[in-house]
Amino acid sequence: MNSKPIRRAIDYSLNDEIIDKDEFINNLFSFLSFNKLLFSKQLVIGVSGGPDSMLLSYFLKNFGIKYSYKIHAVIVDHQFRKSSFEEAKITLNRLKMTNIDAEIIKLNKKCRNSGLQEWAHFKRLEILSSIAKSKNAILFLGHHLNDQVETVFMRMSKNTGFWGASGIKFLNYWFNTPVIRPFHQFTKNSITKTCKKYSIQFEVDPSNFDTKFDRVKIRKILGQINKRKKLIKNIYLSSFFISGITNIIDEKINQICSSSFPIHNLGFSVLDIPTLSNLNKSIALRVLMLIIKTIGGKKYFVRKKCASSLLKHLVKYNDKLSKMPGRTLGGCKIIYRYQRIFILRWSQYNTKKRVMSHLGNMIFDNRWQIFSKPEIEFECLQQKHPILLQNIFSKTFKIPIEALAYIPVSLKIFNFKKIKFYLDDMNCDNHINVSDNLLVFIRKEYNINIKFIKPITPRAIF
């Protein structure tokens, strides 16, 4: 768990050793320090009630005592089964008996059966990260080495490529909330043995044995393979090294995007086609995929072949951009306007209105983080009539109207007549000033902080 945990990973994957509590606590503090994550004195834990999350709660409780951290556990009840809430209450009582502050969040039932696990996964992350953000905390999850191997196996079966082979990140960011999985290098057997040593009780989720779920199918296949332990070790180590490589590449790509293809605070980007076409093709494709995923607000990258088709289209019109037909991809529109190529958010549907929760923060349209008082209703500026929308801003505004249409606002309380912008056409970066002025105006006038979410690449652990 320190900056170079690979030797311990090999040992644990081979021997299924009991996890040393003191070593775990000391390594975790070193890890937080190494990655500059000592900004908060609060930790939020996503607890399922199983052995991994219950052991993690126990370890983090001891970590909190040693280093003066507050611990808050959150149990998300998806209500997939009739008995799920009763099981959640059992877990809640076990946590409270060990003096761990905890709560249960019940989700509204999802009627559709397709994509059930994926929906549950993202909905749980959304809730946990929102709670962590409200506490300025770090989010901890109990995923372990076996989860990593299953994830890599699943992704490879779906041809997700090199980045898919990196699996679950030890440290990543979910909409700017740091997420740590400190059991990433420990096997399920190690965790179960350690639970037994410390007399930690846990629940076993019946859905872990339901073969209608892809992960359970993969788990069953892996269990039937000869020399399973060696296979698990090799898959894990491969994903570990690939993850280190992809982190380094993504960090470089983020630097390229920041310098040559910045994503502005209103949620759009301007493409420098000559610079893009001069990049290595694989890097250029990744740049496009990253920009489109961020601006489009998607959870996954667009397919590589779709990005490759777009890149060919852009390069084809490199010397005649004004004649380039527009394209749409991944919730984005790629068009020529004001003598530039813009990547803009686009959707044929109106984004649903959302009311701010009691936590005072929420993710809107998978692209914006909003901080405000509870009960304020937000919707896209596109809900306002297009003519009125254009009248809000000066006619010299050199940003396509689509860049404005998807800004989350409260149409019930915002008074746009107070907004005046006058642009200096000699300043090529005037759109940056405008976007800052607009968001600053909203913050100062209404005490509402709206931030466009940009990707964060964790430091490579190699």
Single-letter amino acid, residue 248 = I
Average pLDDT value for residue range 390-416 = 73
**Domain spans in the chain, listed from the N-terminal domain onward:** 6-248, 261-345, 354-452
Q: Is pLDDT of 140 > 50?
A: yes
Contact 185, 8 (CB under 8 A): yes
Summary mean pLDDT of the chain: 84
pLDDT tens column, 187-231: 899 999 999 999 999 988 766 666 666 777 777 777 777 677 788
| Dihedrals phi, psi of 299, to nearest 5 degrees | -80, -20
pLDDT for 229 equals 77
- SS3 category, 432: helix
Check whether 95 has a pLDDT greater than 50: yes
14 torsion bin: left (phi>0), alpha (psi -120 to 50), beta (else):
alpha
Give the pLDDT band of residue 243 (cuts 50, 70, 90).
Answer: confident
Per-residue tokens: 128: 């946990």
Q: Taking CA 327 as the corner, what is the angle to CA 323 and CA 332, rounded to the nearest 5 degrees?
A: 135
**Which position has the higher pLDDT, 68 or 348?**
68
Rounded to an integer, the average pLDDT of 231-254 is 87
Report the pLDDT value the prediction gives residue 427, as an integer from 0 to 100: 46
For the cut 70, the answer to whether the pLDDT of residue 362 exceeds it is yes
Q: Quick: pLDDT tens for 397-409.
A: 567 777 878 889 8
Per-residue tokens: 8: 């311990």
Give the tens place of pLDDT for each residue, 255-313: 899 889 999 888 899 999 999 999 999 999 999 999 999 999 988 899 999 999 999 99
6-248: CATH topology: Rossmann fold (3.40.50)
Please give the average per-residue pLDDT across 236-262, as a whole number: 88
For 258-275, the DSSP string reads: HHHSPBPTTSEEEE-HHH
Q: Burial of 173 by CB count in 10 Å (0-12 exposed, 13-18 middle, 19+ buried)? A: middle
pLDDT at 428 over 50: no
Highest mean pLDDT among 33-42, 61-70, 204-213: 61-70
Q: What is the pLDDT of residue 462?
A: 37
Instruction: Please give the pLDDT value at position 414.
Output: 80
